[in-house]
Amino acid sequence: MEAMAEHSQETRVTGESGADKIQERLQRRHQARAEDAERKKEAQASQSVAEEKSGYFLSTFNAERASIEDLLSSCSGADRAVVTQTLEEATVKTLQLQKFLNDSMLFLTQYELRRAQDALKKLLTSSADIREEALPKKKFAFRARSKATDKVSAPPVTDTPTVTDSTKVDVAPAESVQCCFSNMDNVCMIKTAEEINKQDVLLTHLTNCKVRLFGSPSTLHMTHIDNCEILCGPVSSSVFVDHCRNSTLAIPCQQLRTHNTTDTQVYLHVTSRAIVEDCRGVGFAPFTCSYPTLDEDFIVSGLDRHRNNWSQVDDFNWLAAGTPSPNWALIPEADRKTNWEL
């Protein structure tokens, strides 16, 4: 009897143990199914959110792009002042659209991203074409200047030729006439506020030159600059740099656009955001230069001295959000130029 009781007890224990194991397996299976269902639910929700964000991006991007295209279209037949102002507004809006794209890259497909990038490039190309057509660069005549104006030329320096009468630029009193330094090598050049205030200034094909522009130009264009040091007073609107290398630039301005530039340092005061495109090895530091009439030139330019976005640079060739562009960098404080010869 006792043996039978022990066997019965063992059977009950074994049965209870087997039932527990079955129950445990059922619970694990149920939990796994529940977790799988939750994962699918989260994936569907995530996809829905991504699709919603993508839809919002596309509608907003396309609306803003159409707005910029309308602005550019309005330049047709407008006078120079209106075209200049409209192009500035279109450029600002394009920059904002670029930032919107950069911030949205995480949830965009490669196709959507590529389409948006192509649309931005098209806007920039259209702006450049309109600027070239509606705001053509004036032709410059080089002729001897009177002795009264020769005093603005820099004094000769050792082993450095001075600007000869045949290369000095004649500046007419009308504000609409640009002034220009062109095709010079190893010279030192100076312009005074009386010569450049409110005018468009062009520097082109300069090599091993030192340029000092005191006053407040309307715009400043620099192209094909090689191994030069250029210091300019506050520019009331935009500075355009193209094909510059191995140079040092010091410029306050409203907007800076830099193209095809390599191994160049820019000491900058800018009230919007600087732009680089097709550049390499460009360094930025705050504008710290000073000269006797700088305060007056800032007043003439209308720039805000307390607003300087020198470190806020947009690289149109670098769209990886959260990763710094390898094409430009901030100049370390220890390496910044502090001695500017005027």
CATH number, domain at 111? 1.20.58.1250
H or E element, residue 222: strand 219-226
Give the β-pairing of 280-286 and 219-226. Answer: unpaired
Predicted confidence at residue 160, as pLDDT, reads 36
Which residues partner with 220 through β-bridges? 201, 239
Predicted confidence at residue 8, as pLDDT, reads 55
The answer as to whether 145 is a domain residue is no
Examine the domain organization and report whether 184 and 301 are in the same domain. Answer: yes
Examine the domain organization and report whether 233 and 304 are in the same domain. Answer: yes
What are the pLDDT digits (tens) for 61-85?
Answer: 999 999 999 989 998 888 888 888 8
Give me the number of domains the chain comprises: 2
Helices (H), the chain: 2-73, 80-104, 110-134, 147-150, 193-196, 294-301
Amino acid making up residue 231: L
Q: Of 105, 134, 163, which one is at a domain's C-terminal end? A: 134
Examine the domain organization and report whether 69 and 204 are in the same domain. Answer: no
CB 218 within 8 A of CB 240: no
pTM over 0.85? The answer is no
Domain harbouring 306, CATH code: 2.160.20.70
The answer as to whether 74 is a domain residue is yes
The answer as to whether 130 is a domain residue is yes
The answer as to whether 326 is a domain residue is yes
CB 168 within 8 A of CB 142: yes
Examine the domain organization and report whether 188 and 318 are in the same domain. Answer: yes
First-to-final CA distance of the chain: 118
| Residue span of the structural domain in which 88 resides | 25-134
Examine the domain organization and report whether 184 and 121 are in the same domain. Answer: no
The answer as to whether 18 is a domain residue is no
3-state secondary structure of 221: strand
What are the pLDDT digits (tens) for 212-241?
Answer: 999 999 999 999 999 999 999 999 999 999
Q: Assess whether pLDDT exceeds 90 at residue 253.
A: yes
The answer as to whether 158 is a domain residue is no
| Nearest C-alpha neighbor of 218 from the set 230, 232, 205, 204 | 232
CA distances, 109 to each of 2, 31, 33, 105, 121 (Å) = 77, 34, 31, 8, 18
Examine the domain organization and report whether 188 and 287 are in the same domain. Answer: yes
What are the pLDDT digits (tens) for 16-61?
Answer: 566 777 777 778 887 887 777 777 766 665 555 545 677 888 888 9
CB 206 within 8 A of CB 224: yes
Examine the domain organization and report whether 188 and 117 are in the same domain. Answer: no
Examine the domain organization and report whether 129 and 183 are in the same domain. Answer: no
